[in-house]
Chain A
Amino acid sequence: MPQIAQLAETFSSQVFWLLVFFGLVFFVVGRGMVPKVTGAVELRDRQISDDLAAAQTARDRADEEEEAWRKRENDNRAAAQALVADAKAKAAAENERKLAAEQERLDARLASAEADIAEAHKSALAEIEDVAAEATQDIVQRLAGVSVTAEAARTKVKEALHHG
């Protein structure tokens, strides 16, 4: 076993060169280079977390803007709806008014037409009375040979017409 057989003759050289090379590794690589590597890692981690934080704030701001926009939009919509409702109400009132006027006009025409009809009815009745009176006079003359005056015939016809 060379590890034991050569122990005495190689011990000092082994320890010496190990200390030399491990010392080199420790001071050059471990102390010199590793902190730079870990530093780069830390730098990157910090940058990433900074970027994430910035993204988060940007997102929050965007959310706020959206909220404000939404609020504004809702207000606008409400205003527009009020405007529409107003216009609707106005239009309805106008319609109502126009309809009322038309109704009035129609009512007036109806009343005048009814009056005309009543007039015609009355004059027709008078005519019937006249004709009836004349007919009565004539009939009495022929049947009884009595001549009645036009006044008497008219009065009698009126009575007969009125009393059925």
Chain B
Amino acid sequence: MAAEPAKVDPMYQFTIQPLFGSEGWELAGYNIAFTNSALWMAITTVVLWLFVLGGMKREVVPGRWQMAVESFTGFIDDMLEANIGKAGRKYVPYIFSLFMFILFANVLGLVPFGVVGVHPFTFTSHFTITGVLALLSFGIVLVVGFLKHGLHFLSLFVPQGTPWYMVPLIAPIEFISFMVRPFSLALRLFVAMMAGHLLLEVLSTFVISGGNAGAGYGLLVGVPTFVLMIGICALEILVAGIQAYVFALLSALYINDAENLH
């Protein structure tokens, strides 16, 4: 009997499927099917809500859970204060929501629910999602910048100390770099999350195929790959945190441009 070629599509994990027969749902002519992506957004929201709820006891001497929640809010608070200053405190709700939403989405997507038959879906591996989040941050920058400084906000494209004769050259470059921000913000998160999950999926097919091909291949290919996967899983948890942090930090830095125009 010839061995069946493994039919594992590493990209299949990113497929969006409507759930509960909701593929026909529409709102103002647009399809709003409740997909597996939406389900994991809901799960992320609920888990995040429960997490923060556990830190709402407001005890003077905090318990472990309250301590954990407070360390997250304190982390965001410090980051905004360091990058924006006193004015940064009013962005704590937004940056905290952004950071925690992305962090929980990334981490929940890594939890091996597969062993109990549930397939986690990492919605941050879709550029539709990361794009909308990046546009939200970019939109806040534009709104804050123009509301606070008016048309003077355009002087952002002329860095301080630029000689006048360099302005025609510098301004377009600055403008392009400014306009690229939402794309780089969105792509960074999307690519990091997709690449990690793709790598894990490819490596897992090595383990399965190697094991199916016999004990020798299993020992030669499967076992080392499995060890590598464990390491990469740890790395992915790190990446999940770092990418959430980078997204929040860059959003804070961009808001700083709008808040404290040079």
Give residues in A with beta carbon < 8 Å to B: 1-3, 6-7, 9-22, 24-26, 28-31, 33-41, 43-44, 47
Contacts and interface: CB of A to CB of B under 8 A. Distances in A.
Contacts of B62: 40, 44
B15 A36 contact: no
A33 B144 CA distance: 24
A13 B92 contact: no
B100 to A, nearest CB: 7
Contact of A30 (B55, B77, B94): B94
B132 A21 contact: no
Given A3-B127, A13-B33, A22-B133, A35 B42 contact: no
Given A21-B41, A21-B42, A21-B44, A34 B96 contact: yes
A98 B123 CA distance: 114
Interface in B123-139: 123, 125-129, 132-133, 136
A21 B44 CA distance: 9
Interface string B126-156: 1111001100100000000000000000000
A27 to B, nearest CB: 9
A29 B97 contact: yes
A59 B42 CA distance: 55
State the main secondary structure of chain A at its contact with B.
Answer: helix
Interface stretch (B68-76, B163-171, B201-209, B219-227): B68-76
Interface stretch (B24-32, B112-120, B250-258): B24-32
Contacts of B128: 3, 7, 10-11, 14-15, 18
B134 to A, nearest CB: 12
B55 A37 contact: yes
B180 to A, nearest CB: 20
B14 interface: yes
Contact of B56 (A16, A21, A22, A33): A33
A22 B37 contact: no
B70 A37 contact: yes
B140 to A, nearest CB: 11
A17 B35 contact: yes
Chain B interface main SS type = helix
Contacts of A14: 16, 35, 37-38, 123, 126, 128-129, 132
24 contacts: A1-B14, A10-B31, A10-B33, A13-B30, A13-B33, A13-B37, A14-B37, A14-B128, A17-B34, A17-B37, A21-B45, A25-B48, A26-B94, A29-B100, A33-B53, A34-B73, A36-B56, A37-B52, A37-B69, A37-B70, A38-B77, A40-B59, A40-B70, A43-B58
B32 A17 contact: yes
B97 A30 contact: yes
A87 to B, nearest CB: 62
A37 B73 contact: yes
A25 B100 CA distance: 9
A22 B59 CA distance: 28
A3 B69 contact: no
Contacts of B45: 21, 24-25
A50 to B, nearest CB: 12
Nearest to B136: A22
Interface in B155-200: 190, 194
Interface string B99-122: 011000000000000000000000
Given A2-B16, A19-B132, 10 more contacts: A3-B14, A3-B127, A3-B194, A11-B128, A13-B25, A14-B16, A16-B30, A25-B48, A35-B92, A37-B56
